[in-house]
Structure 1
Amino acid sequence: MMIIMITMIMFTLSTIIMLISSTISKKNIEDREKSSPFECGFDPKSSARLPFSLRFFLIAVIFLIFDVEIALLLPMTIILSTSKISTWALISIMFLMILLGGLYHEWNQGSLEWAN
């Protein structure tokens, strides 16, 4: 019974503290000067929020995907000495074929062309 009572007191106390900190930390004042971009004290000449290039984002995602796959290839050289050569070769060839298939697909889709 004592453990249940202590647990309820701790739960209630932590809930009250979270509510108080959430209420105190809210900022309700929207200041135009603070929310505008800063450019040496002058009004900005152009928008600070430039449109993001979707082509650049796509190439960055493709790079990350292939980078992770290369990180998966590196331990395969270490495993070579502790596994059967036929099993290792089959798995390595299959993995490389999947990588090359993905690269071929991205190439056919035109995702790797930076400038049109």
Structure 2
Amino acid sequence: MTPSPLSPYLPLAVVLLLAGIMGVAIPFITSLLGPKRPSAIKSTSFEAGSESSGPARQRFAVKFYVVALLFIVFDVEAVFMYPWAVNFQALGWFGFVEMLVFAVTLVVGLIYVWKKGALDWES
């Protein structure tokens, strides 16, 4: 008997089926078995142990998002540097120059952002 060309995809189908079942079953089971004693205190919004102040939908300065994006950029840089460091000897000078260009590009970007004042919290 020849195997079907779709047989390698059977484990994937099983995982997707189980994920779908769990995605429906877990909220349903928790709504059935979970505690149901609502109170006024439990219904209020909680903000790190202090009373909520102001509306929930307020505007934030763009600076928060810029800092978050910069964090992601430099976090990704660290992710790229780890495999490079592991394979440093195998890559040779080409790999060194390649990473040097990558790091210089990021440092130039950091200097630009710093000069623009994106990292200055006071303004």
Q: Same fold (TM over 0.5)?
A: yes
Are positions 1:63 and 2:68 aligned together? no
Structure 2 counterpart of 1:105, from 105, 112, 119 = 112
Aligned to 2:101: 94
Are positions 1:54 and 2:62 aligned together? yes
Deviations, residues 88-109 of structure 1 (Å, cap 9, x unaligned): 2211211111111110111111
Higher alpha-carbon Rg: 1
Structure 2 counterpart of 1:39, from 35, 44, 56 = 44
Give the 3 Å change call, closer, same or farther, for CA 51–100 of structure 1 in structure 2: same
Deviation at 1:52, TM superposition (A): 1.9
- 2-structure distance, mates of 1:80, 1:46: 53
Letter in 1 for 2:59: P
What's the RMSD between the two structures over aligned residues?
2.1
Percent of pairs identical after alignment? 25
SS at match of 2:106: helix
Deviations, residues 9-58 of structure 1 (Å, cap 9, x unaligned): xxxxxxxxxxxxxxxxxxxxxxxxxxxxx637xxx974221222321111
Q: How many residues align?
A: 75
- 2-structure distance, mates of 1:109, 1:83: 36
Aligned to 2:11: none
Higher mean C-alpha deviation, range 50-59 or range 94-103? 50-59
- 2-structure distance, mates of 1:73, 1:90: 13
